[in-house]
Structure 1
Amino acid sequence: MKKKYSAVAVLLASGLACSTTQAQDKAGIQQKVLSEKGTPELIAFRADAPAYTLNDARKALAEQLQLATSDQMLRSKTEIDPLGYAHERYDQYYKGIKVEHASYTLHAKQGSVQSMSGNFERIGNLNVTPAISASAALQSALQFVGAKKYMWQDAREEAGLKEEQNNPAATYKPQGELVIVNNQETGKPTLAWKFNVYAQLPLSRAYIYVDAATGTVVLQDAIIKHAAGTATFATAYSGTRSLANETVVAGQYRLREYTRGLGIETYNCRKGNSYTSAVDFTDADNSWTEYNNANFDNVAGDAHFGAQATFDYWKLVHGRSSYDNANAKIKSYVHFDDTPGDGVGYENAYWNGSVMTYGDGATRFRPLTALDVCGHEIGHAVCEKTANLTYQNESGAMNEGFSDIWGAAIEEYTAAKLGLTKSTWIIGEDIDKQRPGLRSMSNPNAEGQPDTYKGTYWKATTTSPTQSNDYGGVHTNSGVLNHWFYRVVAGGSGTNDIGSAFNVTGVGMDAAAKIAYRTESVYLTASSNYAAARTYSIQAATDLYGAGSAQVQAVTNAWYAVGVGAAYSGGGGTTPTPTTYCTSKGNSVAYEFIDYVSLGTLTRSSGADAGYYNGTALTAPTLTAGTTQTISFSAGFTGSAYSEYFKIYIDYNQNGVFTDAGELVVSTAASTSTTTRSASFTVPVSAKNGKTRLRAVMSDNSATTSCNAYSYGETEDYSVTISGGTTFAGLNGISASRVSSQFDVYPNPATDRLNIALPNNAEVVSVQVLDVRGAAISVTRYEGNGQLNVAGLAKGMYTLTVSDGQTTYRQRFVKE
């Protein structure tokens, strides 16, 4: 028998909200991109009339970010890149308290500010006097972590840290720092105590943020990010290699070398979990062939070789001296075991904030010292010293994705130089015993990752990210960034999970890697999301190769391929938002499914398609406006026939929703029939010409809508082409010729009112608010002068659609 219905989640449409304004006149602004919160994410100035010089930095920040008297922006660093740009970064403070993950950078050439970018938090009236002490907050943090033993409780590790830092006061014991951080559940700025908590058993290291008023943990940001002379060394994964090392006395060589930066050193943890108890790997004749033994000591050569290859890649390709760009020493620890003596090897490798650590693996993995794993883990160190992407949800997924990018890039670069055979687009192919590898960048779906933003295998983000939920899917949703990078390199065409047909001309690894590095090191900030990554990577490609270049087009079209933003249309990457559609899927097809759909030239017979089938790439039948059409359909059953409802929609006005009048073209009564049924409908004369979407939904629940995850049944999407209709029947009958997201909506989130500012101060003639299902909301009221009263809305996310009579503008906002 069927199970009873359970509550179903209403899924949000898979587009990204982002506002872009082009060709503004104020202060010589050429382009302004707003974040989902309504604050400026990128401001580009006209090259022929720069608005500010670096000497005007404080003025630029004050004017463009509209700083209040409580806001301060303090310069943290200035860097000069190979293109001659100076990047001056400012950290945000509120009433003298640092705002975590908030910074803004001015990008200048020859002293003139070309653009500004970053994340700015608009903070209201926040009390910055803590109600609880740092010691009390630390107890809350330790209770949250719940470790059996911490690093500062190990006398050897404490002594080792003091020696390493040459500081008798150095300690692993967390020292509280008062900061302002966004509460991960509410999203609101919160006064918090910040602690660096390093647990030894079980192993973890993270920044823990404790609300300074209530003592509750409001954010966790992982530091340990789980991954998955000249010597002749027979490595485990990269053949016999010549490795730089040193000799201390005649006949005793060890894996330390100082020709690269401040040095590269590789140590043996001897299947223990102590760094201070680790010893050197040594050899008498500097021919380390005997290290290929039952203990896998040859992987020490892989770690040493991987660190050297990674240093060389960053130095020779990107001009970066070690992970911190200051020649930092790279220390690697092999044969690490988090629980010594349990008989099970450690199935992980990680960067702990200062050193590389490699386990020997167990049932799933061989020792985790493969070249791309080395590049990946040290890539986390590069991220920490540049964008410092917070390790949760979308920013955490990009943190992981960039590390995979560097693992692939370093592997390809090194393999080409040394004649090695490696699989560039498979991560961890050398260490995985059970599968081809951990992740596939060319086909993320093959390893259970999404290749499209919020598409198949996308893991929902969460307000409570922990290690148990992979911090909001960081190792899963990284597939989107991985596949974007693959497309920039290799190109390709197809149709993605949201029905967008794409075509990308690849530009090769060198250009793609340079764009990715500039995006990460110059533009991204700690809280950046995928929408921001698109904006900044297009800007990075423009910096490197020029507006409208093949590289800019590849970057833009690759984002379109993975479901983020529009395809390139000659506008320097700033194009109208593509039509995107909400998710509709049956959770089970164990009993019933759609087995036949026919309309005009479209006919498809099928079995169960896992609850959803995307047929938008099939030949689209042409429907002439004003004509009557007949569509045929039927249900298939695996056993007994159940009563099924069919609802069929056509998005006649191509606005991305099926809730407009007349778009539900078929709605049948319940039937257990297995024979083909037919229904007729008339295409309205007001339908918009061109290709649009038809959605067929079959469910045994009459309440199922066009945007549902429902219990039993199936959804199928197809394309149809409208001819003989109007250009566009817009909102309330107002003609509009195109759809765009290029307008300002603020504040976002909103409480009582939204301010709407259309380009060129165009008059607002129509406003509509839709909920996450795509249903129109009637409790809002447009009051004129760009003011929308939203006081009556319930808390949540909505889509705002505005028309000036020629253009329809659409983007999302949040009601607090």
Structure 2
Amino acid sequence: MIKITTARKYILATALCLQSIVCLNAQTSTADISSNLSQDSRVDSFSLNSDRGTPSLIKLNSSGATLSLNEVADFLSSNLGFGTETTFVEEATTNSNGLQVTKFQQYTNSIKVEHGVFKSISKNNIVQALTAEYYSLSPSINTIPSLSESAALQLVLDHVGADLYAWEYIQSLGNTPEIAAAYDEIYPKGELVFVDNYLTNVVDPTLAYKFNIYAAEPLSRADIYIDATSGEILLLDATIKHIDANHGKEEIKKEIKPIAKQTYGPMPLVVASGDTRYAGTRSFDTSMDTNGNWVLKGITPSGVENETLSYQGLGGIPLNVPLSQFAVPIADGDGDVLNPETADNNWTAAEHRKDDFSLPYAPVIPVSGMPSVGHNEANNDDVALDAHWGAEIVLNYWKNMHNRSSYDDQGTKVTNYVHYGDAYDNAFWNGTAMTYGDGSYQGGQHPDGSFAPLTSMDVCAHEIGHGVCEFTADLVYQRESGAMNEGFSDIWAAAVEAYVLSEIDGSLNYDPWGIGEQIDERDGGLEPGTPGSRALRWMDDPKSAGDPDSYGGANWIEPECGTPTLANDQCGVHTNSGVLNKWYYLLVTGSGKSFSAGLNKPAADDQISDAGNTYNVQGIGFEKASKIAYMGETMLSPNAKFIEMREASIVAAQVLYGPGSIEEVQTTNAWHAVDIGDAYTVGDPNTISFNESNLQIYSESNTINGCDDSNSYTVYLTAVEVDPATTITLNTAGSTATLGQDYDLSSTTVDFSGSEIQSVQITVYDDAIIEDSETIVLSYIYNGKFYKQEFSISDNDFSPRTGTEPFDLM
């Protein structure tokens, strides 16, 4: 990291809206970019990506010489210097915890630059940092493909070499409008883009066609990029993301939507009760179909539609079943003589767990497109209640904790499919839906069974987490970026389980640090939390499940492992995720804590990394750690590496909780614990000082609420090894602003003990008087040393206009 220290110049920028398209001009070298940023008084520090030779993170001042949103275009133009052929188009904005993250997609000569993005994080209209993955393309770069789209597609299909593609299977079913719509959705369409050639060791953006290829036999799906001139395959980005219960089974990221067999009227939120497999009796959303049956379809408290359907043990497209029988609703009240049900919207285990496995295991055998009666979890719809309730809770978590509406932050419906395949040992996210297998454990009857039905809460949270990642960081699913993609999904699995224990039912047998601890039956059916019990991954001690807990340490898979494939787990995405998992665990709980019980797990964290670094982390709890992780994920670019997540998460901690805050300190120390970066360093012992980055330009008006007559600001003070405990008294002598009239302090005394961050609030009032700017001076004496910091109040009042021109008073 290159650190710039400049004399502080305090200016006030008018708060305006950022243009939706940023145009940049003039090609600039890496040396020139570094020089420009070093000399810009608004820049605090920046980091250069070693592969691209361009900035990956630019930290801006939060006080003094600052950058407002409306100045970003000029800032990028003057410092980074693209030609006018390059634009950045605003595509998404995320608002959470008082922060705004804005994403800009790069285009050159009106062609999308794949993975080329800028992201700004701002607070009160002041940009705190910019993250970047952008590519310098020559204005004369070729934009005319030599290959036609059809020729390129044929070369891609030759490369995949599948025996059957999904659209071919769909076409064989007939020519109904439903089938035609399904065919159109799946048939690959070429998009012309610039993309880096992933086969070389240099950054060389190339004109390419992008196709999404969905193969049926053998099953696979990926975004495939082919050179539009040479026909060379440049990148295969797998779109399959799963819980990894079985490396040998794939999953579909985006499937055809099923054709409903029932019609529904208005869908009010009707709360039902039911006996779930993993969480006891729970309440969930339902509605009534036209046959008078209650079905698992409704509106969740988060305002998002939620529906659960069944594959009946058959699997889905592209299996050989009629499209109209792709999936069916799950109802209360549609039983038969042997399995009666009462349509009372009370989903009891007696009604919906119909197979108690009292007889030997027998697989479900399709007969005329429907399953026969057999001893199989496909007969048990109590696990469907887990999927339905689980999705509702995950949606509630994202709305309540992060102000996110569904996985895409657009309130999009979530669909859950259960009973996928016969004893299928996996679960997956398909872009808009969850799909769950029933597992091969089969109530303990299968001799080689590994997993119970995969509808546990953490599996649901993990897979929907992939949807969140797609619409935030959109991390490429291979190497380090793919490992973080998996790690974030594990983080949300842990966070949601902790949310349930805290907000819903603390008696549930959840271990947030075990991924799949309820469905992993490789231990012979041991209860979670007992010695010898198993999980897919352990976040508190990744090594016990064969994953690394330190970057480059034991169990680490070399990310540059060659060509990423399913066989090598895309160069270790489900393994190297352990590094991000351990970081998050330490940030939540702190170091040196006892581990929960589990197979091969030691008693406690030893506080020594694989590189031999001794670490000490103080936990900050799930809520704060999750907010930092979420903002960090939102700020990442598609090909980000672990070091870039370190930088993004530290910025997130600074913006959320203040520079030098305990949250920033522990975020930094947790990364040091996994051998990424140094531990946090503090000032001299027995000192108390104002944070240099405190905002020092105040406005009488509130830029968020517009017409409010006051505005509040936080002043941070940092203590280092203060002993004994002391109280300082803040003095306002020398201020030109009047206490009690122009501003108020939340307190004039602050207590300190040891090393900690404390704060006071300054409330600035709009006095409606036209005047010069005023100053607030805060000072104190500690250990015989005088400390002072000044703050300026910028007047926002103006003289009324005169004359005959119409004037609206608002």
**1:333 is matched with which residue: 417, 429, 440?**
417
Aligned 8 A contact 1:346 1:359 in 2 = yes
Shift of 1:332: 0.7
Shift of 1:352: 1.5
Aligned 8 A contact 1:541 1:552 in 2 = yes
1:174 and 1:454 mapped to 2: Cα distance? 38
**1:348 is matched with which residue: 378, 401, 426?**
426
Aligned 8 A contact 1:488 1:507 in 2 = yes
Identify the residue that residue 575 of structure 1 maps to in structure 2: none
User: Secondary structure of 2:112's partner?
Assistant: strand
In the alignment, structure 1 residue 407 sits paired with structure 2 residue 493: yes
Identify the residue that residue 542 of structure 1 maps to in structure 2: 654
Kindly provide the CA deviation profile for residues 523-567 of structure 1, in whole angstroms up to 9, marking residues without a partner as x: 111111101000000000111111111111111000000010111
Aligned 8 A contact 1:428 1:438 in 2 = yes
Letter in 1 for 2:401: V
In the alignment, structure 1 residue 283 sits paired with structure 2 residue 332: yes
Q: TM-score, normalised by structure 2?
A: 0.64
Aligned 8 A contact 1:459 1:472 in 2 = yes
Identify the residue that residue 279 of structure 2 maps to in structure 1: 238
Shift of 1:64: 2.9
User: Secondary structure of 1:171's partner?
Assistant: helix
Aligned 8 A contact 2:309 2:329 in 1 = yes
Kindly provide the CA deviation profile for residues 451-510 of structure 1, in whole angstroms up to 9, marking residues without a partner as x: 000100000113411111111100000000000000000111511111111111111111
Identify the residue that residue 733 of structure 1 maps to in structure 2: none
1:248 and 1:69 mapped to 2: Cα distance? 57
Shift of 1:205: 2.1
Shift of 1:264: 0.3
Identify the residue that residue 150 of structure 1 maps to in structure 2: 165
Letter in 1 for 2:554: T
Aligned 8 A contact 1:261 1:328 in 2 = no
Identify the residue that residue 256 of structure 1 maps to in structure 2: 297
Give the unaligned 5+ runs of structure 1: 1-17, 338-343, 573-816
1:565 and 1:29 mapped to 2: Cα distance? 22
**1:190 is matched with which residue: 198, 206, 222?**
206
Shift of 1:162: 7.5
Aligned 8 A contact 1:104 1:118 in 2 = yes
1:410 and 1:163 mapped to 2: Cα distance? 37
Shift of 1:53: 3.1
In the alignment, structure 1 residue 71 sits paired with structure 2 residue 86: yes
Kindly provide the CA deviation profile for residues 92-144 of structure 1, in whole angstroms up to 9, marking residues without a partner as x: 12232211111002333444433222212233564232221221221222233
1:497 and 1:278 mapped to 2: Cα distance? 49
1:96 and 1:163 mapped to 2: Cα distance? 35
Identify the residue that residue 310 of structure 2 maps to in structure 1: 268
1:468 and 1:62 mapped to 2: Cα distance? 44
2:632 and 2:583 mapped to 1: Cα distance? 13
Mapping 1:83-232, distance limit 5 Å: 83=98, 85-124=99-138, 126-155=141-170, 170-187=184-201, 188-228=204-244, 229-232=270-273
Identify the residue that residue 59 of structure 2 maps to in structure 1: 44
Letter in 1 for 2:475: L
Aligned 8 A contact 1:449 1:476 in 2 = yes
Aligned 8 A contact 1:178 1:194 in 2 = yes
1:197 and 1:158 mapped to 2: Cα distance? 20
2:287 and 2:545 mapped to 1: Cα distance? 41
Mapping 1:439-478, distance limit 5 Å: 439-461=537-559, 462-478=561-577
Identify the residue that residue 616 of structure 2 maps to in structure 1: 503
Aligned 8 A contact 2:312 2:327 in 1 = yes
Letter in 2 for 1:496: S
Letter in 1 for 2:332: D
1:261 and 1:174 mapped to 2: Cα distance? 33
Identify the residue that residue 436 of structure 2 maps to in structure 1: 358
Letter in 1 for 2:613: S
User: Secondary structure of 1:389's partner?
Assistant: coil
Identify the residue that residue 382 of structure 1 maps to in structure 2: 468
1:262 and 1:65 mapped to 2: Cα distance? 41
Aligned 8 A contact 1:231 1:242 in 2 = yes
Aligned 8 A contact 1:162 1:170 in 2 = no
Shift of 1:48: 2.9
Shift of 1:249: 4.5
2:175 and 2:412 mapped to 1: Cα distance? 18
Kindly provide the CA deviation profile for residues 294-349 of structure 1, in whole angstroms up to 9, marking residues without a partner as x: 33322111110110110111111111111111111010111112xxxxxx522211
User: Secondary structure of 1:357's partner?
Assistant: strand
**1:425 is matched with which residue: 513, 528, 532?**
513
Identify the residue that residue 394 of structure 1 maps to in structure 2: 480
**2:591 is matched with which residue: 476, 487, 492?**
492
Letter in 2 for 1:335: H
**1:320 is matched with which residue: 401, 404, 409?**
404
Identify the residue that residue 716 of structure 1 maps to in structure 2: none
Shift of 1:224: 1.9
Tell me: CA distance 1:458–1:282, structure 2 relative to 1, closer, same or farther (3 Å). Answer: same
1:429 and 1:566 mapped to 2: Cα distance? 33
2:183 and 2:511 mapped to 1: Cα distance? 47
Structure 1 segments, 4+ long, off by >4 Å, are 18-25, 156-164, 166-170
User: Secondary structure of 2:289's partner?
Assistant: strand
More strand by share: 1
Instruction: Between 236-245 and 505-514, report the one with greater CA deviation.
Output: 236-245
1:432 and 1:162 mapped to 2: Cα distance? 42
Letter in 2 for 1:279: V
Letter in 2 for 1:418: D
Letter in 1 for 2:545: E
Letter in 1 for 2:579: V
Letter in 1 for 2:565: T
Kindly provide the CA deviation profile for residues 608-659 of structure 1, in whole angstroms up to 9, marking residues without a partner as x: xxxxxxxxxxxxxxxxxxxxxxxxxxxxxxxxxxxxxxxxxxxxxxxxxxxx
Question: CA RMSD of the aligned region, Å?
Answer: 2.5
User: Secondary structure of 2:568's partner?
Assistant: helix
1:99 and 1:81 mapped to 2: Cα distance? 28
Tell me: CA distance 1:470–1:31, structure 2 relative to 1, closer, same or farther (3 Å). Answer: same
Tell me: CA distance 1:145–1:356, structure 2 relative to 1, closer, same or farther (3 Å). Answer: farther
User: Secondary structure of 1:564's partner?
Assistant: coil
Instruction: Between 373-382 and 492-501, report the one with greater CA deviation.
Output: 492-501
1:115 and 1:253 mapped to 2: Cα distance? 50
User: Secondary structure of 1:64's partner?
Assistant: helix
Could you tell me the percent identity over the aligned residues?
Answer: 42
Identify the residue that residue 696 of structure 2 maps to in structure 1: none
Letter in 2 for 1:68: G
Instruction: Between 56-65 and 353-362, report the one with greater CA deviation.
Output: 56-65
Tell me: CA distance 1:89–1:365, structure 2 relative to 1, closer, same or farther (3 Å). Answer: same
Letter in 2 for 1:336: Y
1:267 and 1:160 mapped to 2: Cα distance? 25
Identify the residue that residue 783 of structure 2 maps to in structure 1: none
User: Secondary structure of 1:505's partner?
Assistant: coil
Kindly provide the CA deviation profile for residues 168-200 of structure 1, in whole angstroms up to 9, marking residues without a partner as x: 994210100011112222143222110111223
1:425 and 1:162 mapped to 2: Cα distance? 47
User: Secondary structure of 2:616's partner?
Assistant: strand
1:50 and 1:163 mapped to 2: Cα distance? 59
Shift of 1:51: 4.8
User: Secondary structure of 1:449's partner?
Assistant: coil
Tell me: CA distance 1:251–1:167, structure 2 relative to 1, closer, same or farther (3 Å). Answer: closer
2:580 and 2:173 mapped to 1: Cα distance? 39
Shift of 1:248: 2.1
Aligned 8 A contact 2:2 2:45 in 1 = no
Shift of 1:26: 1.8
1:209 and 1:167 mapped to 2: Cα distance? 25
